[in-house]
Amino acid sequence: SSASGTQASAATCAVRGELLGPPQTGEFLFHVHAPPFLILLCLPLAVTKLQVSKSKRSITLVENRPIPLNCSVKSQTSPDSHFAVLWYVHKPSDADGKLILKTTHSSAFEYGTYAEEEGLRGRLQFERSASGGLFSLTVQRAEVRDSGSYYCHVEEWLLSPNHAWYKLAEEVSGRTEVTVKQPDNRLHVNQTHRNITVLENQWVTLECQVSSRTSPSSQLQVEWYVWRPGHPEKEAVARLSRQSTLRYGDLATLGNLRGRLHLESPSPGLYLLSIQNATVRDSGTYDCRVEEWLLDPGDRWYKRAEDLSGLTTLIVKQPGEEGISCHWL
């Protein structure tokens, strides 16, 4: 009988027996003088030539962009070698790397625990070059939490003479440091200060102009405040939500201001707060606060930035007092 696949492929034999004939093509046949009297075929152990690129690199990108990861086999033992590639990510808070994806030497896919826990399955794309030595993993629609240190673990597999696959060697690649960040804040609200003087019962309009924003697809929330004479803190007047819902502040709700307020956005980035039938009690210093909200790759809205407008000082006078004026500072 002959040795098992494991025995033959192990390529190291320690036996007591008789050498049957001179070595040919590097093969040795032994007759073992002990039960079960096997004839062992021993092959010299293959010396691995596996080398995986140890190059290190850093990638910084904005969320929603793809993360390109490469794993390059620089040399291999045999042109018939097959490779298993395991992809890992290491986070500063973890002791060890976590398995993302494994492709076996037979080209089967296995997702790691990390991919399952972080919802990565639908965002992973694996490719292998035609030459076979370059493996690529792309993480689509990158999120900030995808930041970390990525690397691959390569296993080289060979086919034994009795057609059994065995792992000959393994190597770890260099690391790719990935930083995923939110878009740079580009929100800017007009900071011009104004003084407005009107008579009672007139209509007055206050402007809030967004001159730039981080993304054209972002949503804006605008809230107006006023500092009134004799009141130590500013009070909320009205708020236009991201869904264009108008909500009144305590000042408008408790007083008679609610029925006289009108808030609109006649053009993108321009918000107007109009007060009808102005009264002396409406006098004060007004400003608006703008929040910009973005949609992350996981379809969750988050506040990216906020900015304040310049101050508008409104003076409402009774008829017969000093004339009306409106000027920019």
Does residue 253 or residue 268 have the better pLDDT? 268
77 Cβ contact list (under 8 Å, min separation 6):
46, 47, 48, 49, 50, 156, 158, 168, 169
Angstrom distance (rounded) from CA 308 to CA 110: 51
Co-location of 114 and 193 in the same domain: no
Q: Last residue of a domain, which of 149, 181, 213?
A: 181
63, 142 contact by CB (below 8 A): yes
Q: C-alpha distances in angstroms, 322 versus 206, 242, 312?
A: 21, 40, 19
Domain with residue 94: its CATH number is: 2.60.40.10
Q: Name the residue range of residue 32's domain.
A: 5-42
When pLDDT is averaged across residues 45-74 and rounded to a whole number, the result is: 93
**Burial group, residue 22, by CB count within 10 angstroms (0-12, 13-18, 19+):** exposed
153, 175 contact by CB (below 8 A): no
298 — pLDDT class (breaks 50, 70, 90): confident
Could you count the other beta carbons within 10 Å of the beta carbon of residue 248? 17
Co-location of 115 and 210 in the same domain: no
pLDDT at 167 over 80: yes
Indicate if the alpha-carbon torsion angle 124, 100, 294, 299 is positive or negative. Answer: positive
Co-location of 192 and 292 in the same domain: yes
Co-location of 172 and 199 in the same domain: no
Co-location of 286 and 246 in the same domain: yes
When pLDDT is averaged across residues 165-185 and rounded to a whole number, the result is: 96
Angstrom distance (rounded) from CA 230 to CA 228: 6
Co-location of 73 and 144 in the same domain: yes
Q: Where are the alpha helices (DSSP H) in 29-137?
A: 113-117
Name the 3-class secondary structure at 7: helix
Co-location of 248 and 305 in the same domain: yes
Instruction: Say what the pLDDT of residue 230 is.
Output: 86
297, 287 contact by CB (below 8 A): no
Co-location of 249 and 126 in the same domain: no
What are the structure tokens assigned to 223, written together? Answer: 């809230």
Instruction: Say what the pLDDT of residue 316 is.
Output: 95
Angstrom distance (rounded) from CA 37 to CA 33: 6
pLDDT at 25 over 80: no
Which of 149, 144, 143 lies closest to 122 in space, CA to CA? 143
Whose structure tokens read 């793809």? 66
Name the 3-class secondary structure at 121: helix
Average pLDDT, the chain: 86
Q: Last residue of a domain, which of 163, 181, 199?
A: 181
Co-location of 72 and 157 in the same domain: yes
Co-location of 175 and 196 in the same domain: no
The number of domains in the chain is 3
Across 92-96, 239-243, 273-277, least confident range: 92-96
pLDDT at 325 over 90: no
Co-location of 225 and 285 in the same domain: yes
Strand pairing partners for 221?
291
Q: How much is the pTM?
A: 0.73
Co-location of 74 and 193 in the same domain: no
